[in-house]
Structure 1
């Protein structure tokens, strides 16, 4: 009689080229069903757009068909689900139906980041995946120009953002791609506003847009490493970041700052796309390195980040994106980005579930560990300007300043790395990293 073990043994020679292990030991093969010679099972991918999923399917089908007694093989390709916090005290984001959220960043303006963000998103959408793209640059939004869309009242193509009954923004759809940009709301008027207002608008676009079910949501980040970047990394959990640069020294310096920022807030770097890497005339095989060479390699050597693609100067990439432009460089960049994302998903940045009561806050980690910190100790170790002198480092907040029954009123996860806590004494400006909470928990356990 045909058994599940036989099925698994027939599949253990299929190796994931990125993870360097077979799909059986990786746990990809699930839900094996055998009925009168008909075999069905799932292969759970690390990301829906895995570029080698068809290769997996064909190899698996061929291997199982060779087994004695097998009449038919049915394979369903699925994908890992994102880890979610299960504590009901935590805010539930409207992004819960979104698979992966990928930031595309450059830190230096003018390197083609927005253009590449749009091409990457559009390429994935053309493959049948559900994709969204947010333009997070409030001061210089690009999507209206890239897709030839303008707000009502201008002399270009008219577009108007609608809202639903809950006053949530409904994204614009173009060629199967969902789009949202402050430029759709502002039109040609300049955005003249201070930082706190900008961050409020960013949060509104992120959390007040009805994205529905998406496989991927790309965020076209503004240049720099300022308030907007921190707001995004603290508001939502990013699956990873793609860094866009040119080989020019100035671009590389700013990119290095961006990489350090993402590492600090625990956002995985998927890799670097080197844009305008070189120029090559149609009639020649010679590459002209207009902005220098080896720039991406320098980043790889310094930070260990992978080079996802080296894209030459291509006039066709500057055309309006009324429809997808089939381009092998863009297709390869998407493939490599998805492979990097799949690898990161498998390694998965470990994030705890959070629980609290009138005495303690507990981090429950996937490996079964529980790290417990008293509300009093955590409140005492607040690191904000009201608790610590930012110039001298002297602690302002004293134990006697904290009420005995201190408890959290509201706990909000901040990206991949921290919690924001609103306490019942009115304090709400502190950010408590998982690293800090773990450190305090270890100190307490060693004392007791």
Structure 2
């Protein structure tokens, strides 16, 4: 009797792969559109899994799980899974084609509201960790007045050369491309006014030959002034990370940094708390020498993810050697890259918001509509003007809120919160969507 060969169908393949759930989106990879280019030839099955970002930390897990699931389908002899990246809007959309950023896929700003928090060291170690994983990575030191990247890499004596297109050729250290105004200036001080600073920043941004990069990290100068706005308006940033420390952590300053990036439509990826604790050699215990953990405060008040708490690491106080890493740095990179991947999809899942004279209404992606009174919402503000940062005690009292309180403007802040400008003059309140849902549900069910 002639043996009947079972035909493998695309539906079987998709049904099997729909068992893989993305931990960030809580949806299966088929519904998310990650499975592409399915090809079935007799007993052979091949397909792509397109991830949101090249360095996705769950890439290996997805690949192994997909292979195992497809091999279980009757009739399958071989499986080929190709891991790719979803096409995304170019970072340099709208720029001159001669810009050195033309081949850069993702640009990430590393910022701080105050100096002295270890921002430059962290920007360098984050970039190096990705370069160590085999990705094409660059680091741009944007601080004109106090460039620190050359000293971090012991590269103060490096000479910058120019290519045939009159572009600066970046210095390469440990497979990482780096560029800094410090290479051009040397030890001389940068004494110049704002307009000239902006001009130099434009030149070094677009006049460096980065080639093809998966990620470019921009080590921003501290603060939230004109220089920072010039940088954010000069190039399309894919995300921003704020670095702070427990002893200098001011929720007002963090809020200021968040609002600066949101004003220029830069997604916030999260916050890294540097020098958060140290681990005792004798007891292996975490000691939070500058106060308790900040992650709860930041998450509650801003809805932002704490990407990592970096301990005091003696190996990061000296120059970077390209070989030293730490589990907390690995975790920070993993969380940052996952957050970068989420920005493109989660932005579609935020609620639509409208308000009338007395209530704010939220229409969630599920179709559910909830509401909260303006008074309740105003009283629930968790900013540093309404709640004591150190004690957590309520500063804003019911008698402080006018009877006719209402929003003047509600501004979405990425995929995590909204900023509300109230008619009583209060404009520093940031309301996470989780807080809005809690308040609106309790109001609806009351």
Q: Which bin holds the TM-score, normalised by the shorter protein?
A: 0.7 to 0.9
Q: Cα gap change, 1:280/1:130 in structure 2, threshold over 3 Å: closer, same or farther?
A: same
Residue of structure 1 in register with 2:88 after alignment: 82
Q: Cα gap change, 1:144/1:239 in structure 2, threshold over 3 Å: closer, same or farther?
A: same
1:293 Cα shift? 1.8
Work out whether residues 252 and 295 of structure 1, in 8 Å CA contact, stay in contact via their aligned partners in 2: no
Residue of structure 2 in register with 1:266 after alignment: 265
Q: CA-to-partner distance for each residue in 1:327-353, whole Å, 9 max, x for gaps?
A: 111011111111111111333689xxx
Distance 1:238 1:349 in 2: 19
Report matched runs for 1:373-384 at 5 Å: none
Residue of structure 1 in register with 2:252 after alignment: 253
1:248 Cα shift? 2.1
Distance 2:168 2:91 in 1: 25
Work out whether residues 123 and 324 of structure 1, in 8 Å CA contact, stay in contact via their aligned partners in 2: no
Q: CA-to-partner distance for each residue in 1:35-86, whole Å, 9 max, x for gaps?
A: 1211111000010000010000000000001111211111110112321499
Structure 2 gaps, min length 5:
1-6, 350-413, 415-446
Distance 1:63 1:287 in 2: 41
Report matched runs for 1:178-327 at 5 Å: 178-327=177-326
1:23 to 2:22 alignment: no
What's the TM-score once normalised by structure 2's chain length? Answer: 0.74
Q: CA-to-partner distance for each residue in 1:203-261, whole Å, 9 max, x for gaps?
A: 11111111111100000000011122111111111111011101125554322211111
**Structure 1 range deviating more: 38-47 or 282-291:** 282-291
1:111 Cα shift? 0.5
Distance 1:76 1:201 in 2: 42
1:105 Cα shift? 0.5
Residue of structure 1 in register with 2:389 after alignment: none
Residue of structure 1 in register with 2:44 after alignment: 38
1:142 to 2:148 alignment: yes
Q: Cα gap change, 1:164/1:348 in structure 2, threshold over 3 Å: closer, same or farther?
A: farther
1:165 Cα shift? 1.1
Work out whether residues 119 and 324 of structure 1, in 8 Å CA contact, stay in contact via their aligned partners in 2: no
1:288 Cα shift? 2.4
Q: Cα gap change, 1:144/1:251 in structure 2, threshold over 3 Å: closer, same or farther?
A: farther
2:133 to 127, 131, 141: 127
Work out whether residues 91 and 237 of structure 2, in 8 Å CA contact, stay in contact via their aligned partners in 1: no
Residue of structure 2 in register with 1:445 after alignment: none
Q: Cα gap change, 1:55/1:90 in structure 2, threshold over 3 Å: closer, same or farther?
A: closer
1:160 Cα shift? 0.6
CA RMSD of aligned residues (A): 2.0
Work out whether residues 171 and 179 of structure 2, in 8 Å CA contact, stay in contact via their aligned partners in 1: yes
Give aligned pairs, total: 343
Q: Cα gap change, 1:83/1:330 in structure 2, threshold over 3 Å: closer, same or farther?
A: same
Q: Cα gap change, 1:110/1:86 in structure 2, threshold over 3 Å: closer, same or farther?
A: closer
Query: What SS class does the counterpart of residue 94 from structure 1 fall into?
Result: coil
Work out whether residues 47 and 345 of structure 1, in 8 Å CA contact, stay in contact via their aligned partners in 2: no
Structure 1 gaps, min length 5:
151-157, 351-415, 417-448
